Amino acid sequence: KAFEISERHRVPVIIRTVTRVNHQSGIVQLEEFVRQDFKKVDWKDLQEKYTTLGEIARQRKLQMLKRTQTLSEEFENSEFNFITKADSNIGIITSSVSYLHVLEALKILGLQNKVNILKLGTTFPLPKNLIQNFIKNLKKLVVVEELSPYLEKEVYILAKETNSNLKIFGKLSGTFSEAWEYTPDIVTTGIALVTDHKVPNYRALIAEAKKLKADLPDRYPTFCAGCPHRATFVALNKALKIQVSKGQNHYFANDIGCYSMWIYPPISRSDSSLCMGGGVGLSNGLSHVLNERVVAIIGDSTFFHAGIPALVNAVHNGNKFTVFVLDNSVTAMTGQQFNPSTEFIAGGRKGKKVLIEDICKAIGIPFVEVVDSYDVKNNVEVFRRALAFDGLSVIVSRRECALYGDRVKRKHRIPIVPFYVDKSLCKRPYVCLRSFYCPAYELDKDKQPHISLELCDGCSVCSKLCPLNSIKRAGVKT
């Protein structure tokens, strides 16, 4: 439907989601998918001018306003907007996942089919007539929406001429907060206050949940078993300790990606993490004002998306800091999508891999080194030299994403051979647990390190770190 609207009106259509939707899975009923063959067209047949200069820009603005009005009129009858009527003078306007919270709240409060609901699926441009007809006979209106009170503000404007006595409850009224995200208890509490119903005792439930939680150990988000970013950190941490002993302290400008988890214990190496490419961008300025050596952390896909301009700026201005490009050769965090560092493109077709180190050398960075993320012992000295370098230095730590690599192995029926701890050799120094933090590691009833064969990726890094050589690959005689 989005493509159909886009092609008919010549506009981009944005499908806006929220975190809770993105982190869920479920059964989705699909309509028939109509695939059309891709066809190239002649530019002259489009009969449009895509420029924004002078008089043309003014004409385009008028066309945009007309198009927006046409879409607003079309959305008045859109299948994505619908009303659930009830014999009541109370109504609720909601959209997205908040609609599900509303349904759950009404069920909890015993108000099913007792409150009018307008569920909006098209929020820009708004179907104004639909909204005005919905609110014209109401006395109270609750607006339930995520993030900023966009719908609520628009409803205030429409109510001024349609129903000036309407009492509107939302974020502007203080019924809900703009902070955090909605949960069923937040929505239930707000609707209960507006409808004069007893508010469920969620505090007692939360207190009971906290009591049960107190018996569980804290578990921070961590990297997957076999993740090359963990191995990179182990080597970097050793190099940092050497530099700190020589009087060099460090500031970490992190970025957006799997490596964002460096902010959590036990790694805790992230002083800032703002936006994609922000790590290198911030480092340009911070390198001038901080006594610490600034260290920027960035991934391969983020490097191509927003890191290159900041690096060009660093070279141009002679800025001195260290950049670690964690290259797992795929856009891992969002599901192993392709980017210029992958050897495949859309549809799984073969693509041309662009090497990050070639770009760094081409723009004139004097110190560029490429390492295998799993080669922890040799990487320590390379990382130390990069940190000590009097100028701009770049380390490309490369090893494919463990999840992606496992997927490829399963596809080609390549066995994933895990490791195990030889208890006859292990003296329990816990180096594997204290320096590597792999989720495949457990402690058995005798406090002996144990590797979960189901979780182990077979990356071998922990075996290289063990001072007793007690970690062996399963099925391999030594």
Rg for the chain, CA atoms, rounded: 28
> What's the distance, CA 123 to chain centroid?
23
Residue 232: band (very low, low, confident or very high) from pLDDT cuts 50, 70, 90? very high
Q: Do domains 82-208 and 228-408 have the same CATH topology?
A: yes
Own/partner pairs for 355-364, CB < 8 Å, 24+ apart? Answer: 356/300, 356/303, 356/325, 356/327, 356/396, 357/394, 357/396, 359/308, 360/311, 360/394, 360/396, 363/308, 363/311, 363/312, 363/315, 364/315
CATH fold of the domain at 82-208? Rossmann fold (3.40.50)
Q: Is 458 left (phi over 0), alpha (psi -120 to 50) or beta?
A: left
Interval 165-195: pLDDT, tens: 999 999 999 999 998 888 888 999 999 999 9
Task: List all residues 6 or more positions away from 137 whose beta carbon is below 8 Å from its beta carbon.
Answer: 89, 163
478: confidence class by pLDDT, cuts 50, 70, 90: very low
Give the C-alpha separation, 171 to 165, whole Å.
19
**Entry pTM:** 0.85
Alpha-carbon span 180 to 278, nearest angstrom: 23
Where does the pLDDT of residue 219 fall: very low under 50, low under 70, confident under 90, or very high at 90 and above? confident
- In angstroms, the CA 400 to CA 406 distance is 10
Query: Taking the domain 415-473, which CATH number applies?
Result: 3.30.70.20
Give residue-wise pLDDT tens across range 420-471.
999 999 998 888 888 888 999 998 888 899 999 999 999 999 999 999 999 9
**Tokens (6 digits) for 59:** 């004409």
DSSP label at residue 176: S
Domain boundaries, the chain: 82-208, 228-408, 415-473
Is the previous residue joined to 12 through a cis bond, with omega within 30 degrees of 0? no
Residue 141: strand pairing partners: 91, 168
| Residue 81, helix vs strand vs coil | coil
Rounded to whole angstroms, the Cα distance separating 233 from 258 reads 13
Classified as helix, coil or strand, 149 is coil
What class does CATH assign to 228-408? alpha beta
pLDDT band (50, 70, 90) for residue 477: very low
